[in-house]
C-alpha cells in the first residue's frame, strides 16, 4: 500500500516536471525565444514557425493545413513570414494563427528594418500627387502655346 502511494507521488512529480519543460503558455508576461531555440523544432512531430516576429507551435496544425504539411515542413524552425504572405492567406487563416501562438522572437534576433516600415515609405499617398501634377502642367503649357499661336495668326 505504501509502495502505491510512493509511485503515485513520483508520477505527480513527473507531471510537474513535464509541465515546466513544455513550451510555456504563461498568462503573465510574454515569453521570448532566440532564433536558435526555434530552429530546434524543425520536424513534423515538433514544428515551430516564426511569422512577423511571433513564434508559433504548429505541431497540431500540420495535418490540418489546407495548403498541405509539406510546405510547412519546409519552413519548420525558421522564419516563414515571406512564404506566409506570398500565398496571400485569408483573414481566417490569420486568425487561426492565434491558437498556436507561444511567444515572441527575441529582440536581438529581429531584423532591424521591418517590412512594414518599407511599405510605409513607398506608400501610394506620397506618389499620387506627382501622377496628376505632371499631366496638369503639360495641359496648361499646351493651352498657353495654343493661345500664342492663335494670336500670331490673327495679327499676321
Using Cβ positions, the residue closest to ligand HEM within the complex turns out to be: 67
Q: Please report how close the Cβ of residue 51 comes to ligand HEM at its closest, in angstroms.
A: 6
Q: Please report how close the Cβ of residue 74 comes to ligand HEM at its closest, in angstroms.
A: 6
Contacts of 31 (CB under 8 A, 6+ apart): 23, 24, 102, 103, 104
Contacts of 52 (CB under 8 A, 6+ apart): 81
The residues in 35-74 that bind ligand HEM, with binding defined as CB under 6 A, are: 49, 56, 58, 61, 65-67, 71-72
Q: Tell me which of 35, 52, 89, 110 binds ligand HEM, using CB under 6 A.
A: 89
Contacts of 109 (CB under 8 A, 6+ apart): 34, 35
| Grid cell digits, residue 20 | 515546466
Query: Which of 32, 29, 52, 35 is closest to 109 using CA atoms?
Result: 35
How far is it, in rounded angstroms, from Cα 55 to Cα 96?
14
User: Which C-beta is closer to ligand HEM: that of 4 or that of 105?
Assistant: 105
Taking CB under 6 A as the binding criterion, the range among 94-102, 110-118, 126-134, 143-151 that sits at the site for ligand HEM is 94-102
Q: Which residues bind ligand HEM (CB under 6 A)?
A: 49, 56, 58, 61, 65-67, 71-72, 75, 80, 83-84, 87, 89-90, 92-93, 96-97, 100
Amino acid at each position: 500500500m505504501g509502495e502505491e502511494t510512493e509511485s503515485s507521488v513520483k508520477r505527480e512529480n513527473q507531471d510537474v516536471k513535464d509541465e515546466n519543460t513544455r513550451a510555456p503558455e504563461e498568462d503573465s508576461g510574454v515569453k521570448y525565444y532566440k532564433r536558435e531555440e526555434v530552429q530546434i523544432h524543425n520536424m513534423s512531430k515538433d514544428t515551430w514557425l516564426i511569422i512577423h516576429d511571433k513564434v508559433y507551435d504548429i505541431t497540431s496544425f500540420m495535418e490540418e493545413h489546407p495548403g498541405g504539411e509539406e510546405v510547412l515542413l519546409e519552413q519548420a524552425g525558421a522564419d516563414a513570414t515571406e512564404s506566409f504572405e506570398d500565398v496571400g492567406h485569408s483573414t481566417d487563416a490569420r486568425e487561426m494563427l492565434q491558437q498556436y501562438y507561444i511567444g515572441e522572437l527575441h529582440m536581438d534576433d529581429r531584423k532591424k528594418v521591418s517590412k512594414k516600415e518599407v511599405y510605409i515609405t513607398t506608400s501610394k499617398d506620397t506618389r499620387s500627387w506627382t501622377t496628376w501634377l505632371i499631366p496638369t502642367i503639360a495641359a496648361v503649357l499646351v493651352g498657353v502655346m495654343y493661345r500664342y499661336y492663335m494670336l500670331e495668326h490673327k495679327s499676321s
